[in-house]
Amino acid sequence: MHTLRIARPTDNLEALAAMYTQGLGMQVLSQFEDHDGFDGIMLGQPGGPYHLEFTSKSGHAAGRAPTEDNLLVFYIGDPTMWQESCAQMEAAGFTRVQSFNPFWDRHGRTFEDLDGYRVVLQNGSWHR
Q: Which domains does the chain have, with CATH numbers?
A: 4-57 (3.10.180.10), 71-123 (3.10.180.10)
How large is the greatest C-alpha to C-alpha distance in the chain, in angstroms?
A: 44
Determine contact, residues 37/57, Cβ cutoff 8 Å.
yes
> pLDDT by residue (tens digit) across 54-99?
999 999 999 999 999 999 999 999 999 999 999 999 999 999 999 9
**Residue 14: predicted pLDDT:** 97
pTM of the predicted protein model: 0.93
**Residue 126: predicted pLDDT:** 83
Please provide the average confidence, as pLDDT, over all residues in the chain.
96
Q: Which of 78, 68, 73, 8 is nearest to 38 (CA)?
A: 8
- What average pLDDT does this structure show over 9-38? 96
Overall residue count recorded for the chain in this entry: 128
More confident residue, 128 or 91: 91
